[in-house]
Structures are given as structure tokens and as C-alpha cells.
Chains A and B, each alone.
Chain A
Amino acid sequence: MSIVETIMQYIGAALILGGSVFCVIGAIGVIRLPDFYSRCHAAGVTDSAGAAGVLFGLCFMSAPLIAFKLITILAFLWLSSSVATHALVQAAYARGVRVENPRVKDWTHGQETSAKKEGEA
């Protein structure tokens, strides 16, 4: 095994472990954060940083074809999960789901009526 491969494996291992850590952190966020929108953010961390870490890390360990598939998965994942979250948040907002975090000004409250109207249109 050449030095280059070894270094690649180290980088890969580091990325995988880093991605795993991001996943767990994000998951804790999904549990602990107070309202829907901030939980969305936490879930997003697992889907972006977590997924990227794990999948890029695996890329470093694998043959070109496998790496290509991994990149494809990552591309699909990034596109689909971010879009799904976006659509979901928009729907939730239109339905008047509130921000619960007391330290942030609840600006949904003021616009609730117009949001409701839009949602029913």
C-alpha cells in the first residue's frame, strides 16, 4: 500500500468520523431544540454536514466507480432533502406553525392572518 493511499485513508477516516459526529449532534438538536423551525435546522445539519462527511469519507476508501455512485448519492441527497425541508417549512409557515423560541421575536404572530389567508387560497 502506497503512502498516498494511506494518507487518503486517514483523511477518509477523519471525514467519516467527523460526519458521524455531525449526525449525532444534529440528532441531539432534533430532540432538544424548542420549536419546529429550529428542529428543521438541526435535521438539516445531519443531512448536509453529516451526509457529506460520511459519503466523502467513503469516497476516499473506494474504487472510482463506487466513488462516483457515492457522489451521485450525495448530490441527490443534498438536492432532495434540502428541497423537502424548504417545502415543508413553507407549508408549516403557511399553516401558522409558531416559532417557540422565547429569545427570538415571534414574527409569525404578526403575519398570521395573511399567512392563513394564503394557505387557504
Chain B
Amino acid sequence: MIETNSIALVFFAFLLVIGVAVTVQRNLFAASMLTGIFSLVSAALFTLMDAVDVAFTEAAVGAGFSTVLFLATLALTKDTEKPGVKRPFAATFVVLLTGGALIYGTLDMPAWGTSEAPIHAHTASYFVTHSITDIGLPNIVTSVLASYRGYDTFGELLVVFTAGTGVTLLMQRKGLFRPGALAIPPKSRAPYVREMPVVRAVAKTMLPFILLFALYVQAHGDFGPGGGFQAGVIFATGFVLYGLIWGPAKLQPIIGGRPVQGLMASGVLLYGGVGVFCLLMGYPFLDYSALTPDHPVHGQHYGIFLVELGVGITVSAVMLIIYFVFSVRPRVGRGAGELGP
């Protein structure tokens, strides 16, 4: 435990240093990169605290996808911050108040890591003891995620779908997905084509492996860290890599417009469809036992497989669309006060 604690302490020190650096760094490119590293270190900390699934997701999402989005935004907006802060004393007061309240609240919490804490005693003990017979998967997190609290995960998927819908509504221009809409004028060909051949070659080599790895993560989520969400992000990351190197104009014909938007909805519909099927069979919504009434455990397996697939489909489609609409947005001239579409 001393080992764990000392490593955790070093990680916390890293996080504090990075956090302060993000705060003072006025070059927002650097600040975004540092935030990415912040996520990576916190993911390592999650691993240390046994939350492998959370670490997986945080690495893929926080360090990967969010950072790419921040950078893509900064490519479109002004990327240095003006010096000075707004109402520093009020802000400090609010922060001290909140932090003080939280610390006050922890005083009655059981010591860190005690197994007697009430949080471990009640529902969690049921999951740890019975999920293997109820559901039969080695990864308890997947069991809880997809079955016991499957409705939360459905909500989570809807959050992703909402984000996809919202970003498309805000950023998509008319006819963006029409073939040829992104034809590159010969003059501005440079940024992509001039990209180094070595990078291109290596990326091309890695791409199939990335997609394969995503499929592995999707299928392996029942047995170890991973699952639909992580797989979806990694799958999208593969295409993001492609888009980064060859440019969105090359990406567009591959992912298409309507098809991806359709995928976005169909993953949600697959998840919901499984639930509705259960409902029609006379079981409660998302009670996967309905899939094979004779063998409830099998039903759970099929159900979890299907809903994880739904999650994977929607997540990858949404991530792709979000990246795509950000990367094709033209950069506005400085100080141009023109409105968007």
C-alpha cells in the first residue's frame, strides 16, 4: 500500500504541476496539449485505483478525442489568451468556499481504501458476489454497466447522440456531405499533400491494426477492460488519423454523410430495440432474460453483446461526425464579424 500511495502521490504532484501550467499558459495550443497530458496522467491514476475501464475511457476520450477537438477548435479561433483575469477575488472566494465545503464533507468519510466503508457494504457487495451467477461475465463493470444499470448506459448513449445532433446542428453547412463538396482547389492542396511520406506510409500501415484493435476491444469488453464505448472511440480515432493525414476531403467519401448520420441513430435504435423487444415479450424494458426465456443467463449474454454493439456504432459515428464537421470548418479571417450559415 505504501508503494501505491507513493506512486499516487507522485501522480498527484504531476497533475498539480500540469494543472498550474494549464492555468498560467496563455498559448492555448500548449494549454490544450497539457490538458491532454493531464487526462493521460489521471488515467494512469485511475489504473492505480483499480478503475481500469475508467482509465481506458479517459485515455481514449480525454487524452485523445477531446484534445484533438480542442486543437481543431484552436485552428479555427484565436489561440492566445489575453492576459488578466476576471474578478479574481470573487473567483478565489467561490473556489475556497466550495473546496472548503468539500474538505469539510470528507472529514466524516471513512479512511481512504477501507473495505468497511458503507459504499462497499450495500449494493456493491451484491454485484461482486452475485454478478457471476446472475450474468456470468468476468468483468463486473460490464455486467453492472450493461445489465444492472443498463438504463443509465442507454441514457449515456443518448447523451452522445445529443452531442452529435447538437454539434451537427451548430456546425454543419448545407451540402457538406454531398459528393465533391470538398473538392480541394489546386492552390490550397499543399497542407495535406506535402505531408511527409514517411508519416503517410506508417499511418497507412497502422490504420488496419487500429481498426482491428477496436474490434478486439469491442468483443473483449466482457472479459477485461473495454467495451462498446471504448471501441467506438478507438474506431473513430483510426479514421481521425486518416483525416489528419489525408485531409477531410479524402475522409468524406469514405464515411459519407447520410450513412454516418444513419449509423448515429441506428446504434441508439439497436440498444432501444433490444429493450423494446424485451418489453414486447412481456418482460421489463432491457430485461435481457426475455431474449432466451429458458436460459436467463444466455439472454443476458446476447443482450449485453447487442447493446454494446449499439453503443460502439453510435459512439464511433458521433465521434467521426464531430471531428469531421470541426475539421472542414473554414478558418475565419481575423476580426471578421460575419455570421455563420
Contact = CB atoms under 8 A, between A and B. Distances in A.
A binds B: yes
B206 interface: yes
Contacts of B209: 76
A116 interface: no
A14 to B, nearest CB: 22
Interface in A59-100: 76, 79-80, 83, 86-87, 90
A71 B196 CA distance: 26
A121 interface: yes
Interface residues of B, number: 10
A83 B199 contact: yes
Which secondary structure characterizes the binding site on chain B? helix
B206 A121 contact: no
A80 B206 contact: yes
Contact of A79 (B190, B194, B196, B205): B205
Given A121-B190, A121-B194, A79 B206 contact: yes
Contacts of B199: 83, 86-87
Contacts of B102: none
Contacts of B190: 121
Contacts, number: 20
Which secondary structure characterizes the binding site on chain A? helix
B202 interface: yes
Interface in A85-121: 86-87, 90, 121
A77 B194 CA distance: 24
A108 to B, nearest CB: 18
Contacts of A76: 206, 209
B183 interface: no
A87 B196 CA distance: 7
Nearest to A86: B198
A86 B197 CA distance: 11
Contacts of A80: 202, 206
A79 B199 CA distance: 9
A86 B194 contact: no
Nearest to A94: B194
A24 to B, nearest CB: 15
Interface in B180-225: 190, 194, 196, 198-199, 202-203, 205-206, 209
B196 A90 contact: yes
A70 to B, nearest CB: 15
Contacts of A121: 190, 194
Contacts of A90: 196
A83 B241 CA distance: 13
Interface in B152-184: none
Contacts of B203: 83
A83 B197 CA distance: 10
Contacts of B198: 83, 86-87
Given A76-B206, A83-B198, 7 more contacts: A79-B205, A79-B206, A83-B199, A83-B202, A87-B198, A90-B196, A121-B190
18 contacts: A76-B209, A79-B202, A79-B205, A79-B206, A80-B202, A80-B206, A83-B198, A83-B199, A83-B202, A83-B203, A86-B196, A86-B198, A86-B199, A87-B196, A87-B198, A90-B196, A121-B190, A121-B194
Interface of B: 190, 194, 196, 198-199, 202-203, 205-206, 209
Query: 5 tightest A-B contacts by CB?
Result: A83-B202, A87-B199, A79-B202, A87-B196, A83-B199
